[in-house]
A = this chain, B = another copy of it.
């Protein structure tokens, strides 16, 4: 699938000019992100939790696979496996300071993925998913670490969410003001935002050099 083919529940309803239809944009957002927000229906109310994630664009699921993990004791787990969930990724790119409160806005990229998560039981897929989640944080890092123990694997649940049902919105650029506000000579503009790393902090009980993957990640986040 090279395009996002929204279903009724992932069709962008308003501000259609902000809808993004190509999967490549979704893939870039997935690559840029670090934290997703997972929405689960908990009986009488939804719960939204921040979560790490991993991405396998060639994964076994239609549209690629988004992997999440959690403790076997997590309270949201049963609910997530009992119905559909929503995973939302948002990167904030700027504050849009318009000439009126109404036209204030933000520049952002945001994707919504809705689907039925699958509990991953295959040992090879579980290992691969956990490596992808580590590599999302620091690319290349999983390959440098020891194998997980049986106890660690037994404590961890891995969920796979198909990325077939997804939509994306983005806003970029400056304020869109009313002509009379522009004519009035009022200032308007954007405060661009980005996430940076403030270097690397080595643990006090760590006596070896910063690994290349960690150094590269910190430099890339610059």
A1 is an interface residue with CB less than 8 A from chain B: no
Select which of B101, B149, B155, B187 is within 8 A of A148 by beta carbon. B101
In the complex, are the beta carbons of A194 and B191 less than 8 A apart? no
Bound CA–CA A199/B174 (angstroms): 14
Q: CB-CB < 8 A to A85: which residues of B?
A: 45-46
A: residues with CB less than 8 A from B are: 9, 13-14, 34-35, 37-42, 44-50, 52, 71, 73-75, 83-88, 90, 92, 95, 97, 99-102, 104, 106, 108, 110, 112, 114, 130-131, 133-134, 137-138, 141-142, 145-146, 148-149, 152, 155-156, 174-175, 181-182, 185-211, 214, 217-218, 221
Report yes or no: A35 in contact with B90, Cβ–Cβ below 8 A: yes
- Determine whether the beta carbon of B196 is less than 8 Å from that of A194: yes
With A39-B47, A40-B46, A46-B39 known as contacts, the answer to whether A74 contacts B14 (CB < 8 A) is yes
Jot down 24 A-B pairs with beta carbons below 8 A, ordered by A: A35-B108, A41-B46, A44-B84, A45-B114, A46-B84, A46-B85, A47-B86, A50-B88, A50-B90, A97-B214, A100-B148, A100-B152, A101-B145, A101-B152, A104-B141, A146-B181, A182-B205, A187-B202, A187-B208, A189-B200, A189-B201, A189-B206, A194-B195, A195-B195
A52 to B103, CA, bound (A): 13
Residues B102 and A156 in contact, CB atoms below 8 Å apart: yes
This protein's copies in its complex? 2
- A123 to chain B minimum Cβ distance, whole angstroms, is 15
Q: How far is the CA of A21 from the CA of B138 in the complex (A)?
A: 31
Q: What is the CA–CA distance of A66 and B199 in the complex, to the nearest angstrom?
A: 35
With A46-B46, A190-B203 given, name 18 new contacts (CB 8 A). Answer: A35-B106, A39-B47, A39-B48, A45-B85, A47-B114, A49-B88, A49-B110, A95-B197, A95-B217, A99-B146, A102-B155, A106-B137, A174-B201, A175-B203, A187-B211, A189-B206, A194-B195, A194-B196
If the complex has contacts A95-B137, A182-B205, A200-B189, are A83 and B221 also in contact, measured as CB distance less than 8 A?
Answer: no
Closest chain B residue, CB of each to CB of A176: B203
